[in-house]
Amino acid sequence: MAAKNGSEAAEEHTSSAEIRSFFDSAPPLKNSLEITDKLKEFLDKNSLSAGDGRANRIVCVTSGGTTVPLEQRCVRYIDNFASGHRGAASTEYFLKAGYVVIFLYRRGTCQPYCRSLPADPFLECFEFIDESHIKVREPHSEAVKMAISDHQNVVEKGQLLKLPFTTIFEYLQMLQMVATSLRGLGPHAMFYLAAAVSDFYVPWKSMAEHKIQSGSGPLDMSLVQVPKMLAVLRKEWAPFAYCISFKLETDKNILLKKADMALSKYKMHVVVANELSTRNEEVVVVTGDEKVSVCRDKTQVGCDVEDPLIKLLVEKHAIHIVDSCS
């Protein structure tokens, strides 16, 4: 085994001290003032300062994976393969359902309305005709039109705010900023936490300053657990918001058990369980009461599992709002 876990006897709960220590040791967010301004402007524009009712529902969709730097002047880092496809697709369906969306995404991952483009759309979709004409290559013309016009449309109308992150440090600081800025919206806010957040990290202060040298022996690394922020998000940052987290496993035998554990441990309203190999076909929506399997409609072309998934979550969110307000 390349990796092994340490003492299982260690404290299960995330203590406030652990979280304070994580944030204290994190490199400060470079553009935090700019993010604060963007958030304020976005919420004002959507009249969400004192929102209620269907028109004012907002969701923060997190998407893509976080990196864990292994060196302070970062050359190497641990990453994960998350493409951001789930987050991008879900964002489209939330917008369609009338939600305002904050898309907190990993730089370079999949963007809303761009899912059916080729791998390098910029170089693959266009053709140079002459000095003043650039043409869209035929097989891609529909996809390009949708990507550019639909994306432009929601950004210009101010229904979509996109905030990029790279490291685990950036992600958790930004999530805290978004969450506290949405606290005033109470149950009308939703968190749809589809980002693949690193479980382990190297605390900034114990990190090598310079590039790790490749000598002649093996490299031994010791990473510590990232404090579980889900519990803090629920308890402190946005206690009335509707919270959905994801559980991804490659081993389906432990998937539902782990989803149940996440539900009770972090007090999520919903945990969406998905297995790596079938995640675009089927997911299981796990709540305290039930486990509902949600499948992609295979009878129609171009249908996504996110279509029925978001419909179901929007219904559950509506019930949460009614319950919270009564």
- Within residues 271-310, the interface with a copy of itself by CB under 8 A covers 276-277
Q: Which of 67, 159, 173, 274 binds a copy of itself (CB under 8 A)?
A: 67
Q: Closest CB to a copy of itself among 8 and 290?
A: 8
- The answer to the question of residue 21 lying near a copy of itself (CB under 8 A) is no
Q: Which of 17, 33, 50, 219 binds a copy of itself (CB under 8 A)?
A: 219
Q: Which position has the token pair 């470079």?
A: 30
What is the token pair recorded at 173? 């600081």
- The answer to the question of residue 262 lying near a copy of itself (CB under 8 A) is no
Q: Which of 74, 97, 256, 292 binds a copy of itself (CB under 8 A)?
A: 74
- The answer to the question of residue 151 lying near a copy of itself (CB under 8 A) is yes
- The answer to the question of residue 10 lying near a copy of itself (CB under 8 A) is yes
Helices 168-182 and 32-45: crossing angle in degrees, nearest 10, is 30
Helices 168-182 and 16-25: crossing angle in degrees, nearest 10, is 120
How far, CA to CA in Å, does 171 sit from each of 22, 45, 123, 145, 285?
12, 24, 30, 31, 25
Which residues are paired to 163 by β-bridges? 104
Spatial contact of 82 and 65, defined as CB atoms under 8 Å apart: yes
CB of 213 to a copy of itself, least distance (A): 6
State the binding string over 236-255 for a copy of itself (x if CB under 8 A, else -): ------------xxxx----
How far, CA to CA in Å, does 278 sit from each of 248, 258, 296?
11, 17, 11
Q: Closest CB to a copy of itself among 8 and 289?
A: 8
- State the number of CA atoms in the 13 A half-sphere of 315 facing the CB: 6
- The answer to the question of residue 161 lying near a copy of itself (CB under 8 A) is no
Q: Which stretch binds a copy of itself (CB under 8 A): 41-49, 197-205, 283-291, 299-307?
A: 197-205
Spatial contact of 178 and 165, defined as CB atoms under 8 Å apart: no
Q: Which of 24, 41, 127, 142 binds a copy of itself (CB under 8 A)?
A: 127
